[in-house]
Structure 1
C-alpha cells in the first residue's frame, strides 16, 4: 500500500502527520502490550491481519508450538499516535485464528460480553481511575518517591508533592488530552510517590483500550524523566496500594440514557436495574476477585491496615453501599453508577471488565436482589458483627481467589475453556512459585532465632 492513508479518529491522515510506523498491538494474559511494527506503506495489509504471532511464546495465548499462528487484526477506530513518539501509531487489535475470532483473545472476550449486553438493549459504560506510583532509584539501589520532599505520613492530596511532580504529570495529562480522553482531575494519592489521573468514561472496549495504552504511556513518559512508573498493586508494605476503581453503568443502546439513574432521581443511589447488576457481581465476587486482583501482591492491598495514614481504603468484604469506601461496591455520592473498589492497577482491563459485566448481566436476567446496603465502616466491625450482617470476606490470597475462579461456572462462560484453563494454570503456578521463594522477612525472622 502506498500514498496517503486516512482513518477516522486520532489516527486521521497519518501520512500528513508524519507517521512512519504502525503497531498492531494486543495484550497477553497480564494485559501487557505485545506488537509488531510495519512501515506505514504496509498499513493496508496490517489492517487485514498480515501480522502473525506464535501464541505459545506468550503468557495467556493458549497454543501449542505446533499450532498455526494467530493474526492481530487492528481496530481502525482505536488508532492513537504515540505522544512521545509521533512517527508511530498504535492500534488495539483482535486476535484471529484461521480467519475467525480467537476464543482466548482478551479483547475478544470483552467484546463477547458487550455483545451480550447489546442483545439485551444495553451499552456498558466504564470509567477507570488510574492509580500508580512514580519512583526513582536511590544510590543504594532502593526505591524512593520521585520528589525528595514527598515524605509526609499523610501525603494524600499534598499540594507540594503534586507541584514537585508537575513536570512529568503535565506531560502525561497533556498527552491524554491530546488523545481526546478528557482528563478532569489528577492528584497526589495516599502513598508517597502515588498519583491518580481521572478521565472521561466511555464504552467499555474503548476504556479498556485506553487503560492499556495509559500504562504504556505513563511508563514511557516517566522513563524519559529518569523515573519509574509502577502499577504494582502494593509496592510498599507501609503505604496505600494502587487501585483501579471501575466505575460502571448501563445505558440504553438506542437513546444513551443512563439506566442506573433512580426513577425518583434520589441522589446517591441507583435504579432497580442497577441493584440487580450489583447483586450479580456480589454473587460471583470471589471468582471475579481472581481477575480484578490478579497477583500475589494484590492481596497485600486488600487488607484493613497497612498504610502510614491508617486504613488502606481498600475493601475486604463482599458488600455494597453508599459513598462508604469500605465496600467492595460503592455508589458514589452523585449516584447513577457503581464503583468496584477491589480492582487494582495490575489487572488486565479487558478480562476484568468482561467478568464484571457478565456477572452484572446475570443479576439483571435473574432479577437478583443485593439485599440491604452496608452503611457503616466495615473496617471496624468485629467478626461477630460481620456474621450478623451477612458480610463475607473477599479472598485473602491469590490461591483462594483462583480456586474460586476455577469452581465458578461463570469463569468458563466468560473466558471460554482455552483461556480459563490457561488462566487457572498460570495463576496456580504463580501461587506455588511464591510459596517456594524464601523472603527477606523469613531470613530476618528465622536465620538466627533458634
Structure 2
C-alpha cells in the first residue's frame, strides 16, 4: 500500500475538493475565519486558485480587525481552510464558504477563536471524550419603516403573547421555508421551528454535532440568515434584547459528552437518584461550569445589551425566561443550567445570539472538564421557580447572581485564572481591553432616556 506524506494527502484532498466544486458550478471560494464577535471574515479567490488558498495563501493584517490581536508591524496571519467544512452558499451557489484556522509563521496562531476551541476539544479527547453541542437559534426578522421604526415583517404579528402562534408562522411561511430549506440543504437536519415569544421572533432547532462543527454552523447561520432576509428587504438581528418589553434572543447551548471509542452518551443515566437522568460525569461537568459561571458570562453574554436580557421581568408575557442566578436544576427554565426531560444533556440558558460560538464553547468546555477532573459536586438540583426566591433565601442556599452588567462580567473574567489558560494571554488581554472599551463607551454615552428624565426635571 502506498503511503502519502501529510502534504501529499492534503494535495490529493484539495484536488478532489476542487473537482467537486467545479462540477457544481462554483466559481469562487471564501476562506473564512472569526473575529472576536464570531463574525465571518475572509478573502475570496477564484476557483482556479483553490489549491493556493487551501495551502494558506490568503494573508490578513490582524491589527485591522476586532479581536485578532496584532500590531501593525506584525507578520500577517494566514487562513488555512478546513476542507471538511465546505458550505456552498444557498443564496448564491457560485460561492463556497470554508471555516478556517489562523496560522502565524507556519504555526497555529494562539489567538485564533477556532483554534482556542480546538485546544479544548483536544483536552477532552485526551480524556477519551467527544464534546457534542446543539445550539437553539433565536432571532428577529424585521423591517424598517421610513420613520426608522422597526416592526415585524407581518402586519398581523401584533399579539401580546405571540409565542407558538400558528398565524405568525403562516404569515411568514415563505421566508421561514427558505431558511429551513437552506439549512437542510446543508445537511443540518432541522427538526423543529416556531414563532417565538416576541413579535417578529423565531427559533430553529437542528441536529446537534461535535462542538467544532456546531460552532462553524452557528457562524455560517448568522451570515446566511442576514443574506436571506436582505433579499426580501428585511433584516435579521441577533441582538440579545432589541426591545425592552419583549423577550430576548437566546442561543441555548445543549451539551453532552460521548465516548470517542464507542460513541455512547456519557451524560445519560437511568440510575440518577435525582431523577434527572444525568450521570455522575454530567453532574461533574455542571459543577465546573457553575464554579466559573461569572467569568463564563462575559463570553456567552458578551455585549452591554446582553445584560438587559438576563433580567427577571421585562416583557409582556411575564417572566423573561432568561436566567439570573448561578444555579442548575430539572426541566425548569429559571436556572442557568437545566437538564431537559429526556436527560443525557445539559442546557445553558444564559448564552445569547451575540456570542462568539468558538470562545463561548471553549470556556464552557474547559470549565466542565475541570469539574470532571476534580470530581466536583454541584449540590442538589433546583426544581422550583428561582425567580421567586428572596435574597435571604438565595444566600442561605449559596446561590449567587449572574453578573448584572458587562463590566461586572469582565471583572470576573479577568479575575479567573481559567480564562487566560483557555484563551491564552494574547486573546485574554485583547478580549478584556475590547470589552472594557465597549463598556466605557456605553457608560459615558448620554442616552435619550437620560434626556427625557433629567433635562427639564430639576
TM-score w.r.t. the length of structure 2 is 0.96
Per the TM alignment, residue 387 of structure 1 is displaced from its structure 2 partner at its CA by 1.3
Quick one: distance in 1 between partners of 2:277 and 2:34? 35
Matched, 1:351 2:359: yes
Structure 1 counterpart of 2:329, from 307, 321, 331: 321
Q: Distance in 1 between matches of 2:140 and 2:179?
A: 14
**Cα deviation digits, residues 258-289 of structure 1 (max 9, x gap):** 00011527863310000000000000000000
Which residue in 2 is equivalent to 1:413? 421
Query: Is 2:10 aligned against 1:6?
Result: no
- 1:5 is displaced (CA, Å) by 4.5
| 1:35-74 aligned within 5 A | 35-74=42-81
Separation (CA, whole Å) in 2 of partners of 1:441 and 1:150: 27
Please tell me whether the aligned partners of residues 272 and 279 of structure 2 are also in contact (alpha carbons under 8 angstroms): no
Tell me which residue corresponds to 2:369: 361
* SS, match of residue 295 in structure 1: coil
State the partner residue of 2:119. Answer: 112
Output the CA distance in 1 between the equivalents of 2:288 and 2:325.
Answer: 16
Deviations 1:85-121 (A, max 9, x none): 0000000000000000000000000000000000000
8 Å Cα contact 1:5-1:15 kept in structure 2? no
Q: Which moved more, 1:356-365 or 1:264-273?
A: 264-273
Give the equivalent residue in structure 1 for 2:254: 247
Equivalence for 1:425? 433
Structure 1 residue matching 2:23: 3-state secondary structure:
coil
Determine if contact 2:101/2:112 at 8 Å carries over to the other structure: yes
What SS does the corresponding residue of 1:104 show, helix, strand or coil?
coil
Looking at structure 2, the residues matched to 214 and 434 of structure 1 have their Cα atoms a distance apart, in angstroms, of 28
Q: Give, in angstroms, the shift of residue 225 of structure 1.
A: 1.1
Question: Which residue number in structure 1 is paired with residue 390 of structure 2?
Answer: 382
For the 8 Å contact 2:246–2:314, the answer to whether it is kept is yes
SS of aligned partner of 1:36? strand
Per the alignment, residue 290 of structure 1 pairs with 298
The residue correspondences of 1:29-178 to structure 2 (distance < 5 A) are 29-178=36-185
Q: Deviations over 1:151-175 (max 9, x none)?
A: 1110100111111111111101000
Superposed CA deviations along residues 323-371 of structure 1, whole A, max 9, x for unmatched, are: 0100000000100000000000000000000000000000000000001
Q: Residue 333 in 1 paired to residue 333 in 2? A: no
- Please give the alpha-carbon distance, in whole angstroms, between the structure 2 residues aligned to 1:356 and 1:364: 13
In 2, the alpha carbon distance for the partners of 1:265 and 1:216 equals 41
Tell whether 2:220 aligns with 1:213: yes
Cα pair 2:68 2:112 within 8 Å, conserved: yes
Can you list the C-alpha shifts for 1:372-427, whole angstroms capped at 9, x where unaligned? 11110011111111112221100000000001000000000110000000000000
Question: Partner residue of 2:3?
Answer: none
Question: Any idea what SS the aligned residue of 2:220 has?
Answer: helix
User: Which residues of structure 1 form unaligned runs of 5+?
Assistant: none
Aligned to 1:28: 35
Contact 1:269 1:322 in 2 (8 A): no
Of 1, 21, 24 in structure 2, the residue corresponding to residue 17 of structure 1 is 24
Q: CA RMSD for the aligned pairs?
A: 1.2
TM-score by length of 1: 0.97
Question: What is the rounded CA distance, in whole Å, between the counterparts of 1:157 and 1:398 in structure 2?
Answer: 31
What residue number does 1:179 align with? Answer: 186
Preserved CA contact (<8 Å) 2:28 2:44: yes
Count of equivalent residues: 445
Distance in 2, Cα, partners of 1:311 & 1:280: 28
- 1:235 Cα deviation after fit: 0.3
Unaligned runs of 5+ in 2: 1-10
For 2:288 and 2:350, locate their aligned partners in 1 and report how far apart those are by CA, in whole Å.
Answer: 15
Looking at structure 2, the residues matched to 265 and 279 of structure 1 have their Cα atoms a distance apart, in angstroms, of 16
Task: Give every structure 1 segment of 4 or more consecutive aligned residues whose post-TM-superposition deviation is greater than 2 Å.
Answer: 4-7, 263-269
Please state whether the residue corresponding to 1:232 is helix, strand or coil.
coil
Preserved contact between residue 270 and residue 277 of structure 2 (Cα < 8 Å): no
User: Structure 2 matches for 1:301-320, cutoff 5 A?
Assistant: 301-320=309-328
Counterpart Cα distance in 1 of 2:130 and 2:167? 41
Residue 447 in structure 1 maps to residue 455 in structure 2: yes
Distance 1:34 1:139 in 2: 31
CA contact (8 A) 1:320 1:329 kept: yes
